[in-house]
Structure 1
Amino acid sequence: MQLTAGNKVALVACSNGLPVDQQPEVQRLMQVLRGMGLCPVCSDYLYAGPTAFAGTAAQRAAALQQAYADSQIRAIFDISGGDMANQLLDLLDYRQIAASPKPFFGYSDLTVLLNALYTKTGAVSYLYQVKNLIWQSSAQQQPAFVASMFSGADDLFRVKWHFLRGERMSGTLLGGNLRCLLKLAGTPYIPDLTGKLLFIESLGGGVPQMVTYLSQLRQLGVFKHISGLLLGTFTYMQQHRQQPSMHQLVLQETQGCTFPIAYTSQVGHANTSRCLPIGGPYTVQLP
């Protein structure tokens, strides 16, 4: 995937609508993208009204569908998050999306869409919040974004991993935010994780919530089928120094399993976060 100067890119909000007071932030993001030579085009449904919705589910789905249908749009950046992206899953025309593939970027609640796109089309999407370009770590994010998106470098994708178990894993990478990924359980949009690498991270939730989520993964049979587990940041747990740690919980929950487990502090909800290719090939190994 590579962008060039003059390309149009779409800004959409498939999950919760943005507060209206974030309009200056979006304008700043558009300025940065224009400074890189891109031409950002905004969905009509970015901002929440009196409720949390930026338009109906059908309107938000249509805006995303139009971004895929427009041949001049070369990439789609979702700038929302929250809880409601799964409203769109059964309203999208996946055949049309597959016929006009283009990179889709989102994080957090957009985990549901990243993984559904893989399930329904085989597309590679990207776990990344483009607003990182204007947040606190913008001085590091902007050059990494430019190098990766325009020159094909791996700056934005380069992640340092450490192993809890094993020393190498390779396969198709799936997952994202743990709570949001589990919304797909029992739906036609959850990907087949057999032989895959699963990445998980979380913004909120303490030990009880993580135990619940890990137990659900085990009960779904996930730990019987994946070939590797990758852990990002677990912000609430780490900020509050909760015990047992997420690493300890994972090792407890996967006792008897042999798949490798690795972790990083470079992917999650922080504005320093790197980008992961959801649905793409991925390899992690000791140096």
Structure 2
Amino acid sequence: MVFRSRRDVLASLSLAAAVLPLLGFSPSLAVDKQPKTLLPPRIKPGDTVGLICPAGAAFSKETVQVTKESLEALGLKVKLGKHVFDRFGYLAGTDQARAEDVNSMFADKGVQAILAIHGGWGCARLLPLLDYKTIQKNPKPLIGYSDITALLVAIYAKTGLVTFHGPVGAATWNKFSVDSFKQVLFDAAPVTFQNPKELGDNLALTKDRITTITPGTARGKLVGGNLTVLTAIIGSDYLPNWKDAILFLEDTNENVYKVDRMLTQLKLAGVLDQVKGVVFGKCSDCNPGSGGYGSLTLEEVLEQHLQSLKVPVYSGAMIGHITHKFTVPVGAEAEIDATAGTIRLLSGAVV
């Protein structure tokens, strides 16, 4: 047996640490070289939208029908995925079946956009099963939020295709959400996302307020989604390059200490140190829970983790598990103004 000194071991580790980045490795294993940005074609009246359930099961046929009628009201046609009504426990069928629906919808020349009906859990299980070459050759809008985040960021990371953190089929298709959806996906508009400022009969704005954590403006590619989902795939190679990105986040039904834990994970993985700005959307029903006496507030946790980054940061954007939501393109160039609480697309996110 050959014994090595502590100094020799440390020297070897230092050499490995120096070599790994050259081989394409990074602390969070995000892709080192981001593929060229690929814009999908815009959605047009008469186009067909493929409906899929890549995560949770479609327990309610009525929900699927309402989704179909909502899209038809937008002048669109609908095609159901082969496995939409499959069920495997809390999942909408086996991993292979759900991945088949994603791959098939991208390959289908008669489908111009793809919309998830539900979130839930399960998209991360599909990432090794997706046909990224076929997806890249057949660019089309993929839309959803919550657990769909895993698909949105992985497909962007692997193919460069801009994806869309927007409504799922089962969401409320109200005027605010529909207007944002159409501006981004139908009109290819360089939208400025800004919260509504309706006072009602109040003397001051009481809902959907933004909070400036660090003032200023910043430009970069929008990357993000659900905080829980993003942190669950840290350490995989299904995440994009975070360098100079504008990170946006949202979540729901998480105790404050869990938000603290997940932001800590993003920090330890080196993600937060690379971004040019942060937009934290809504964290609905994120309460202290059983955190005990003297729990930190959500505002305190956000300030502690994000103020120290010395980049523009604001919270409260209409992104998340809410009825009125923006359709935010993952991979699009944008400028945020943390003082005004706005996200401005520098160009259209579809062609």
Please report the TM-score for the alignment, with normalisation by the length of structure 1. 0.89
Give the deviation of 1:248 after TM superposition. Answer: 1.9
Q: Deviations over 1:105-142 (max 9, x none)?
A: 01000111111011100111000124366x2x624434
Confirm or deny: 8 A CA contact 2:114 2:142 kept in the other structure.
yes
Cα gap change, 1:238/1:188 in structure 2, threshold over 3 Å: closer, same or farther?
Answer: same
AA of the residue aligned to 2:254: G
AA of the residue aligned to 1:18: A
Report the counterpart of residue 4 of structure 1 in structure 2.
Answer: 44
CA root-mean-square deviation: 2.3
Confirm or deny: 8 A CA contact 2:227 2:250 kept in the other structure.
yes
* Secondary structure of the corresponding residue to residue 190 of structure 1: coil
* Secondary structure of the corresponding residue to residue 77 of structure 1: strand
| Pairing 1:225–2:267 present | no
Report the counterpart of residue 270 of structure 1 in structure 2.
Answer: 322
AA of the residue aligned to 2:331: G
Report the counterpart of residue 151 of structure 1 in structure 2.
Answer: 187
Query: How many correspondences in the alignment?
Result: 281
Give the deviation of 1:188 after TM superposition. Answer: 1.0
Give the deviation of 1:48 after TM superposition. Answer: 4.9
| Pairing 1:236–2:271 present | no
AA of the residue aligned to 1:4: K
* Unaligned 5+ runs, structure 2: 1-40, 196-209, 341-351
Runs of 4+ in 1 over 6 A off after TM superposition: none
AA of the residue aligned to 2:163: S
AA of the residue aligned to 1:93: D
| Pairing 1:104–2:153 present | no
Cα gap change, 1:106/1:224 in structure 2, threshold over 3 Å: closer, same or farther?
Answer: same
Cα gap change, 1:256/1:38 in structure 2, threshold over 3 Å: closer, same or farther?
Answer: closer
Partners of 2:80 and 2:44 in 1: how far apart?
19
Partners of 2:190 and 2:66 in 1: how far apart?
25
Largest Rg, 1 or 2: 2
Cα gap change, 1:189/1:28 in structure 2, threshold over 3 Å: closer, same or farther?
Answer: same
Q: Deviations over 1:131-173 (max 9, x none)?
A: 366x2x6244345544544334467x62336531021011001
* Secondary structure of the corresponding residue to residue 257 of structure 2: helix
Report the counterpart of residue 162 of structure 2 in structure 1.
Answer: 124
Larger helix share, 1 or 2: 1
Please report the TM-score for the alignment, with normalisation by the length of structure 2. 0.74
| Pairing 1:164–2:213 present | yes
| Pairing 1:177–2:217 present | no
AA of the residue aligned to 2:56: N
Report the counterpart of residue 310 of structure 2 in structure 1.
Answer: 258
Give the deviation of 1:206 after TM superposition. Answer: 1.1
* Secondary structure of the corresponding residue to residue 223 of structure 1: coil
